[in-house]
Amino acid sequence: EYIIEAEELEFTYPDGTRALKGASLRIRRGAKIALLGSNGAGKSTLFLHFNGILKPQKGKLRFNGVEVRYDKKSLLQLRKDVGVVFQDPDTQLFSASVYQEISFGPLNMGLSRETAREKVLQAMEDTGISELKDKPTHFLSYGQKKRVSIADVLAMDPKVIIADEPTVWLDPKHAKQIERLFRDINEKGTTVIISTHDVDLAYAWADYIFVIHEGKIIGEGNPEDIFADD
């Protein structure tokens, strides 16, 4: 029933910053989740644990009911299963053309050119960037780059997509498109988690919200419940 379960995660960066101070949460498979918190609350640090880039210094993490293991093979699988769309697409995109960019992951995973091609074309279609196929990523608009970075992750067929502040720096029209895109991705069966400091976005978009503050989950619930005055 739960795809990700974190129990009392603690993480301190080498400079002594305590980013997670016992964060616990359970994410239901297929859910549309918002992780709501201000800058520095620990959202990105939590996400980097979900895809295995960071290893908990204390606490437990389970994926699909199984405790996460940190050997090379398990980590490769986890990074395929849990795709992260970073806040700034420029840190994610490095290939010459849009098509090359999105095919990198599937080819790197060892898929045949033919299978990779199918995944890439599908991911481009799902994100509405088919017509950008041969364009150099370098010259795309910010909104287009954002879509390419989402297609990048989608082409890996992840079970969970995590997006760090996906609508920040976008104008309202493009922000709405991205919100809709993540809703569609969720409706096709992928668990979607977005981080945001935007209460209205969390309320309108998510079916379940976790509130993180100073490295701990301090509230959770359905949008109607969590913002109800009591």
Judged by the rule CB under 6 A, the positions of this chain that interact with ligand ADP are: 13, 15, 17, 19, 25-28, 31, 33, 37, 39-45, 207-208, 220
Phi, psi of 70 (to 5 degrees): -115, 20
- Residue 148 CB, nearest approach to ligand ADP (Å): 22
143 vs 223, beta carbon nearer ligand ADP: 223
Q: Which residues contact 13 (CB under 8 A, 6 or more apart)?
A: 19
- Residue 71 CB, nearest approach to ligand ADP (Å): 24
54 vs 181, beta carbon nearer ligand ADP: 54
- Residue 48 CB, nearest approach to ligand ADP (Å): 8
81 vs 220, beta carbon nearer ligand ADP: 220
- Residue 136 CB, nearest approach to ligand ADP (Å): 30
CA torsion through residues 61, 64, 65, 67, sign: negative
42 vs 105, beta carbon nearer ligand ADP: 42
State the Cα angle at 209 between 208 and 211, rounded to 5°: 160
49 vs 119, beta carbon nearer ligand ADP: 49
- Residue 13 CB, nearest approach to ligand ADP (Å): 3
As a whole number of angstroms, the distance between CA 167 and CA 109 comes to 29
CA torsion through residues 216, 222, 225, 226, sign: positive
- Residue 86 CB, nearest approach to ligand ADP (Å): 11
45 vs 144, beta carbon nearer ligand ADP: 45
Q: What is the 3-state secondary structure (H, E, C) of 106-145?
A: HHHCCCCHHHHHHHHHHHHHHCCCHHHCCCEHHHCCHHHH
As a whole number of angstroms, the distance between CA 177 and CA 219 comes to 28
